[in-house]
Amino acid sequence: MRDAVTVYPFTSHAVVHAGVARVTLSGELDLDTAPMVHNAVADCLAERPTTLCFDLTDISFCDCAGLGSLLTARLTILGEGVDLVVEGIGSQLRRLLSLIGAEDLFTPKAAETDLGRARWASAGVASHRAAETEAALPTRPGTF
């Protein structure tokens, strides 16, 4: 019966090319679809990229389970030493991140290198390095 209430079905698309992985998510990211985020990220990381780009432009809805899958994916990506780039955070996801005090985890920040600035700034993209963002991770016992 879940499909009867899903307005925007969830889809994920993952591709790796020349060391850059791109995971495009769209639709409703919730308890039912959250595991697909892990699968897409795992498939990309198996290809050993240097950068992984999350395109969240078309996420129409995200609940706590969906948010948890994004945060877990972020930790996994950065833990592998892969740069994380995030594009297109909509107002609903931005508000959810803000409510838990995590808005800086997926928002645009200056790239660490001149190459990074040139590569990502014109596209309005954020680049986060594992070492730089590890201090900003939630440190509650029993999480992630």
Residue boundaries of the structural domains of the chain: 2-128
Beta-bridge mates of residue 24:
13, 55
pLDDT, one tens digit for every residue, the chain (144 residues):
455 566 778 999 999 999 999 999 999 999 999 999 999 999 999 999 999 999 999 999 999 999 999 999 999 999 999 999 999 898 889 899 999 998 888 865 433 333 343 443 433 444 443 334 344 444 444 333
The predicted-structure confidence for 33-51, as pLDDT tens digits, reads as follows 999 999 999 999 999 999 9
The rounded Cα 21 to chain-centroid distance in angstroms is 12
Q: Which residues contact 25 (CB under 8 A, 6 or more apart)?
A: 10, 11, 12, 37, 40, 54, 55, 56, 58, 59
d(CA 49, CA 31): 28
Per cent of the chain over pLDDT 70 is 69
Name the one residue in this structure whose structure tokens are 């495009």.
24
| Beta-strand pair 20-29/11-17 | antiparallel
Q: Which of 124, 33, 19, 132 is nearest to 73 (CA)?
A: 33
Tell me the CATH number for domain 2-128. 3.30.750.24
Supply the pTM of this predicted model. 0.71
Q: What percent of the chain has pLDDT over 90?
A: 58
Number of residues assigned to the chain: 144
